[in-house]
Structure 1
Amino acid sequence: MLVLMYILAVSGGSNGRCLEHEKQALLKFKEGLIDYGNLASWAIEKDCCRWRGVECDNRAGHIIRLDLHPVFSHADHDDFTWTPMDGVISSLLLDLRHLSHLDLSRNQFTKIPGFIGSLKELLGNLSRLLSLDVSNNNGDMISDNLEWHSGLSSLRTFKLSRTNLTMAVNWLHSIKAHPSLSSLYLQDCQFPVVDPSSLSHINSSKSLAVLQLIDSIVHPSTFPLLLNMSNKLTALHLSKNHLNGIIPISFAHMGSSLGNLRKLRTLLLNGNYINEPLPVILEKPSGCVKDSLQVLDLSVNQIKGSLPEIITRFSSLKELCPDDNKLDGALPDNVGNLSSLAVLNLARNKLTGSLPQSIGLMSGLKVLDVSSNSFNDFTSEIHFLKLSKLKFLTLSFNSLSLNFSSGWIPPFQLNTINLRCSKLGPSFPVWLQTQRNFSHLDISNSEISDNIPNWFWRLPSNLLFLNLSFNNLSGKFPDLHLRFNSFPSVSLSSNKFHGSIPRFLFNTTVLNLSKNMFSGTLSTFCSFINDNLDHVYLSDNQLSGNLPDCWMNFKQLVVLNLESNSLSGVIPSSFGSLHKLQTDHSAATYTGYASVVWKVVEQEYGKTLGLLKEVGQLRAPESLDLSTNRLSGEIPLSLADCSFLSCLNLSNNNPSGKIPLSTQLQSFLVESYMGNVGLCGLPLNAICPEDEKQQDGGVEHSNLDDEKLYKGSGFYVSLIIGFTLGFWGLCWTLLFNWPGKPASFRFFDNMVDWLSLKMALIAAKVKRRLTS
């Protein structure tokens, strides 16, 4: 009974009624905001402790946390909602005297200068505030000082971003002088030049432990001052700052400054323009830093030289990431002395030689990525001797030969296996049989010439990505009923697989089976409804039979390539029902190899498929390729309504009749319809019989009408005025009506298509008259 009463007391405190005067303060505070439904619960629920973003004290019921960042939700695959609030931050927040956490991030308050200015008076009296987040507010925030935050005497964590602080000449002084600030996060800000003499009488901060300054504009002379802000620093994040290549000068004397940071555990300098040799950089920190540093990220710079033996003196190092630089030479043989290392990322450099066998002694290693270098020689069991914790292995794009005995049992269970362009063959790697938990497997282009053993198809249910392409694999697929927790991307292209396509492969997102010898029909497709399948590549196989009419089951389909098969029958009318393909996938990326037919040119995309960036920023759907089959009948009218198609290829089939008139079908090149003797109509030169009769009967009348139409100057004046007003009206909408931009661009695309069709019709008409 006592236990039950205690549980009710504790739970009732957080869910009980809040104090009435604090509730009224929130309601009046809400009146100054345009919340777009983010605070809908504030009007429905009586107890303000149950309101969204509100947290109350368990005992007294005081409001202690107010989180007003907007809700991010997605109703379906393509419907994303992020509605920021705007309005005025009211001084009524002062009534919440027990407030300890305030989050105003990711909004778009309209009067930005007033908003920042109001903080000086408004927030300065919230003496119990421990955490303040005003980051990621849309628009340019401006502040002429940061002195107001000194009134928040209890503040521990402060987050500020997208703010112009070029007038806040004392910003560094304010931070160093704050009595309790321990974590400072500044991102995408602009800072003024700091006068070092203004800081000479200010001692280093006694509390600041985490300083994050990311993607900001900082004068190079300021960086040494940042290193001397606090000798209590445990984490220093100086990533992606815009220094225009001057950063090597600003870090010229970094060694002595780093030597004072005796507690530094994390140092992130990634995404800058550092071009000093790596040995010089690693020699600068003092012995104390070498003993304390746990994370060193130097990625995405221009650092040269080799990885020196001095790196092994960083005895506490857990993460070493100098990837995406210009490192060369061989790795030190004793690199395995970094026994605490959990992450070693050397990818995308120019390193050579063999992998040291001492890597196998890194018993704590979880991530090993040496991809895209020039490593060569053999890799054997000894390289993985004690790597029992390894989860992520990437050796791709080297010249490494994995020489494992057939009975080898690895000490690890991998989640990600990337061995693309390694030498695994000619036999299928037996050791993969021991790996039962991987979600990503890429052994493409790895010189395997073998049948896939049956045990391999016991694929993990958490599979997300499988790539076996560009090998010499052969054999039939077993008839399996595999189920995956999600819909993986699968690429088996450029092999010698034969037989029918296994049913389990249709439960995917990207399916690439091109350039194999698969046979049979596609009727199995109709037994599935997959709203996740968006890319299908089945070209260059031996598929036959009628093309099924069930494409309405694949509403997300973006690319369908059935080129070079023996398919027959009519073109299905259900192609015209793929309206979901109008969605813009311009931000989507796909990993693996895939063949995309674009304007009758086949291209291969490797490692990361930014399909839309690589092929002229395509908008979905991108491609429908039915070329080189045996399709017959008329082109369905529903296909004429597919104004979203960027590429259509119906060449080398046997369709007949007139190409339907639309804003799209006439815009494709003649090559899209070549090899079809039964087709007529634009854009082909072949005139349909019904059009020829209409032309003969009305040519004289048409000529007279055209002459009257084009003879007067008023026509041209009207045309120029109408085009100018319409064009600039559209531009005005695109520039100043941001929420309507997507719709405006779609309208613009459709208008261009319509104009293209009209121009094509006029050109064909003129051409016929000239020839007659």
Structure 2
Amino acid sequence: MMTLIGLCTQTFQLDNLNLAWCKVGPFFPKWLQTQSNLGYLNLNGTNITDEVPRWLWSTSPSLQYLFLSYNQISGTVPNLLTTSIRYMDLSNNQFRGPIPLFPVNASHIQLNGNMFSGSISSLCKTPHDYLEYFDLSNNQLAGEVPNCWDKMPSLRYLNLANNSFLGEIPPSFGNLKELLALLLHGNGFSGVLPHNLRQCQELRIIDIGRNKLTGEIPTWIGKLYQMQFLNFRGNKLHGSIPPEICNLTIIQVLDLSINVLSSIIPNCFNNFTLLASESISDTFAYVVTLGTRFGGYETWEYEYSSFQWKGLCGDPLPMCPEDSLKPSTTNSRDNMNDNDGNIFSFMQEVGISMGFGFIFGFWGVIGSFILKKSWRIVFFSFLDGAGDWFYVRIAEFVSKWRRS
């Protein structure tokens, strides 16, 4: 554990300070007030439960990187427009009040997981040409989302989820040509999906679940060829599933459930092989759901018996009337039983392999350290030496970079 005893009595000036995950709290260290040269400050996860002091925002005019996430810091955030902050993470705290104005050259702003409230119309006051990452999710923000997103042309990730926004989705989202992810779920958006979004050809993720959107699924969705995650769950969309959606050949999550869709499921859904075979990250289990999905993003399941359908037909739902006129060429029940047996056998083999791997791999190493004191000393001495070496090299590099 890092100790800060004695620091207050010494005269020193730091350029960078990283105390992440150290037990600094419950209060902000008062000696930070003397650090007028800080360019980087990281207090993530430091058990601070204090109200943010006013001096924190103006202690160092050169502060560009500020990390305060995963604490219980309360209070309001002042106008930061005239500061030098470029990268700010205040997520998962208890900040309240309106969202602050931030510098025009900021590139990464995370305010998610707090109690910010009110409108976000203040975003329209200044352009933010360099902003790439903007997260306001899981707050208490409300009102209509302003239609001025053309002032953030470099935006790549936008998350407004789980607030109380109302009204239509702003058409100016279509001006974000570099946008990769648009997350708007858990609000009260109404109307139709803006046609301008078809211009965002780099989009990988659209999540508009749990809103009040109406109309039909737009056919231009099929022209967003980079799409990997598409969630329309829990809206009021009606009509048929457009066949153009079959053009999303690398789609990995497709959720159209809890809407009022009808007609036939396109045959091409059988071609969405990536839904089950590959993944973007370890966080998701990738499925296609048209009815009921179990659990959250981490536990999605695809079962033939899980669909609650009304007006939809076609595999894996009940067959359509015209399908009954076609001769059956396979015994589907036998095939399903064979598949179940193969899956069970495969899981047995995986379980046995993992058990032996854990016994010989984990305990082979840990057991040796427990029994051999000399091995423990050598191992931890090596880690300490490696850590010191990396620290010195990074400090030298930062010092040279700042001088240049």
Alignment of 1:562-641 (within 5 A): 562-581=256-275, 583-585=277-279, 587=281, 600=292, 602-604=294-296, 614-615=298-299, 627-628=307-308, 630-635=310-315
Corresponding residue number in structure 2 for 1:514: 209
Distance 2:49 2:267 in 1: 56
Give the structure, 1 or 2, with the largest relative contact order (CA under 8 Å, sep 6 or more). Answer: 2
Which residue pairs with 2:117 in the alignment? 425
Name the counterpart of 1:339: 36
Output the amino acid matched with 2:88.
Answer: L
Q: Which moved more, 1:344-353 or 1:575-584?
A: 575-584
The residue correspondences of 1:59-458 to structure 2 (distance < 5 A) are 275=1, 277-280=2-5, 283=6, 309=8, 313-315=11-13, 317-359=14-56, 360-381=58-79, 384=80, 387=83, 389-403=84-98, 410-428=102-120, 430-431=122-123, 433-436=125-128, 437-455=130-148, 457-458=149-150
**Alpha-carbon distance in structure 2 between the residues aligned to 1:624 and 1:510:** 26
Q: 1:543 to 1:579 in 2, by over 3 A?
A: same
Amino acid at match of 1:370: L
Contact 1:539 1:562 in 2 (8 A): yes
How far apart are residue 504 of structure 1 and its match? 4.2
| Deviation for aligned residue 1:665 | 8.5
In the alignment, which residue of structure 1 is the partner of 2:254? 560
Provide the rounded CA distance (Å) in 2 between the counterparts of 1:536 and 1:665: 30
d(CA) in 2 for partners of 1:625 and 1:313?
Answer: 70
Q: Kindly tell me: are residues 421 and 634 of structure 1, through their superposed partners in 2, closer, same or farther at Cα, counting changes over 3 Å?
A: closer
Of residues 452, 465, 474, the one that matches 2:166 is: 474
The letter of the residue matching 1:511 is: I
- The offset of 1:327, in angstroms, is 3.2
Per-residue deviation at 1:632?
3.4
**Bigger radius of gyration among the two:** 1
CA-CA distance at 1:385 after TM superposition: 7.4
SS in structure 1 of the partner of residue 85 of structure 2: coil
Q: Is the 8 A contact 1:343 1:366 kept in 2?
A: yes
When the two structures are superposed, what TM-score results if normalisation uses the length of structure 2?
0.70
| CA positional deviation for 1:458 | 2.1
SS at match of 1:473: strand
CA distance in 1, matches of 2:215, 2:119: 28
Letter of the structure 1 residue corresponding to residue 252 of structure 2: V
Alpha-carbon distance in structure 2 between the residues aligned to 1:623 and 1:530:
28
Task: Give 1:442 deviation, angstroms.
Answer: 0.8
Please state whether the residue corresponding to 1:449 is helix, strand or coil. strand
> Match for 2:45: what amino acid?
R
1:372, 1:397 within 8 Å by CA — same for their partners in 2? yes
TM-score (norm 1): 0.38
| Shift in alpha-carbon separation, 1:597–1:483, aligned structure 2, 3 A | same
Question: Which residue type is aligned with residue 443 of structure 1?
Answer: L
Kindly indicate whether the alpha-carbon contact (under 8 Å) linking 2:291 and 2:307 is maintained by their aligned counterparts in 1. Answer: no
After superposition, the C-alpha distances for 1:563-597 in whole angstroms (9 at most, x for unaligned) are 1101011010111222454653274568xxx9997
Number of aligned residues:
334
Q: What per-residue deviation string (whole Å, max 9, x for no partner) do you get for residues 650-673 of structure 1? A: 5xx895668975599847xxxxxx
Structure-2 separation of matches of 1:567 and 1:546: 6
Contact 2:112/2:135 (CA < 8 Å) preserved in 1? yes
Q: Is the 8 A contact 1:374 1:399 kept in 2?
A: yes
CA drift of 1:476 comes to 1.3
- Residue among 232, 241, 259 paired with 1:538: 232
Q: CA deviation at 1:520?
A: 0.7
Distance 1:399 1:598 in 2: 37
Shift of 1:448: 1.2
C-alpha separation in 1, matches of 2:313 and 2:223: 27
Instruction: Give the conservation status (yes or no) of the 8 Å contact 1:561–1:624.
Output: no
Q: Give the letter for the 1:453 counterpart.
A: P
Distance 1:595 1:435 in 2: 39
Structure 1 distance, partners of 2:287, 2:77, is 32
Residue identity opposite 1:451 in structure 2: E
Distance 1:331 1:439, change over 3 A: same
Inter-CA distance 532–665: structure 2 relative to 1 (3 Å threshold): farther
Give the deviation of 1:367 after TM superposition.
0.9
Query: Counterparts of 1:18-97 in structure 2 under 5 Å?
Result: none
Question: Residue 402 of structure 1 contacts residue 422 of structure 1 at CA under 8 Å; is this kept in 2?
Answer: no
